[in-house]
Structure 1
Amino acid sequence: MSSHDDGFDAPTTKIRGAEFDGSGFSPGGGFDQQTSVVSRPDDVDDVRDEQNRWHGGLDFGLLVLRVLVGGTMGAHGLQKLFGLFDGPGIGGFAQALDGFGYTSQTTLLAWITALAEVGGGALLVLGLFTPLGAAAILGVAANIVYAKYTLGGRFFTGENGLGFEYELLLGGAAFALLFTGAGRVSIDKNTPWRRKPLPYAILGLLLAGAASAVVILLFR
């Protein structure tokens, strides 16, 4: 009589839909690795992926950030272009640039700055070509910070009225949007620079730096 004819059946266990006898082998003979509990780490990875998954709150936060930064800079541009919101207009802004150390072609620079603010601000609000819009805003903010710093400005507004904390904040927000992208509540939703923003962020950063350098070299 064989060892299995003693009138007792080896206990069976079900693991993930497969039956195992007491020996640890499936009735068909041979260990079924796919149904073992070794797959448990995959469950842990799934939980971690769920915790780190992009969610709607991030999209809403990026929308708010884009609207605030883009809307603020766009309004400043409209002040310069058309004199809206008690702004100086192009002529008044060109004269103001003289006091910030820009002595060459100030009217041209006034147009460039105003268009960069309006255009870049509109792109950010819409979430359209976001790296380009953020680069435009970053370039303008960087030039303002540089101009105020060279005239003795400090972080907080002092007696000379040349604090640059406001422009630094706007530039920092534009810098952040370069690397985060517009989020899914945007026209850029299905574009490569929304899904993988890093290479486009680096390109936008180089563009903003080059534009700032050109303005400093040609107009001061």
Structure 2
Amino acid sequence: MTSALTAFNRALDKNDAGKLLLRLAVGGLMLFHGLHKLFDGVDGIQSLLAAHGLPEFIAYGTLAGEVAAPLLIVLGILTRPAALLVAFTMIVAWLLVGFDKTWMLDKTGAWAIENIVYFFIGALAVACLGAGRYSLAGNSGWR
């Protein structure tokens, strides 16, 4: 049994493939949020910022955190800084729209801020792991 488990573990020991899958999940799924704001505008974010007494121009930062950074993550270019930008964006999202829902469940029983937490923790994992071998930046420091 031990030899079968060892063989199974060895067959799935693909760190670079795992890093790629994580990058595609975090960056690719976050990109959908950003593309929505890119095509439909950041008016909703501006309203949220104004309601919190913050300058509305900050809303354009969401395009960096939800479009540019996710693209860099997916491509494996400047992966760690881009992932930290996504994590920071999720902290801001939590403070603006999720803070009051932190200890709540949604109508299906899921944690009300699980999307924010998923992207935050996923981005931190990408920042810790880096791009891996499958990156458009190759073996350069730009990974």
- Quote how far apart the aligned CAs of 1:149 are: 5.0
2:120 aligned to which of 160, 171, 176: 171
- Quick check: 1:120–1:136 contact (8 Å CA) kept in 2? yes
Between Structure 1 and Structure 2, the one with more helix by share is 2
Task: Tell me: CA distance 1:152–1:59, structure 2 relative to 1, closer, same or farther (3 Å).
Answer: closer
2:18 alignment counterpart? 61
Output aligned runs, 1:10-89, within 5 Å: 57-83=14-40, 89=41
- Quote how far apart the aligned CAs of 1:173 are: 0.7
Indicate whether 1:91 and 2:43 are aligned.
Answer: yes
1:33 alignment counterpart? none
Structure of higher RCO (CA pairs closer than 8 Å, 6+ residues apart): 2
Cα root mean square deviation, aligned: 2.6
Larger Rg: 1
Aligned length: 130
1:43 alignment counterpart? none
- Quote how far apart the aligned CAs of 1:118 are: 0.2
- Quote how far apart the aligned CAs of 1:95 are: 2.1
1:102 alignment counterpart? 52
- Quote how far apart the aligned CAs of 1:172 are: 0.3
Task: Tell me: CA distance 1:57–1:97, structure 2 relative to 1, closer, same or farther (3 Å).
Answer: same
TM-score, normalised on structure 1?
Answer: 0.52
| Identity between Structure 1 and Structure 2 (%) | 31
Hey, what's the Cα distance between the residues in 1 that align with 2:74 and 2:83? 10
Q: Which runs of 5+ in 1 are unaligned?
A: 1-52, 84-88, 195-220
1:183 alignment counterpart? 132
List 4+ stretches of structure 1 deviating above 4 A.
none
1:125 aligned to which of 74, 78, 91: 74
Q: Which deviates more, 165-174 or 89-98?
A: 89-98
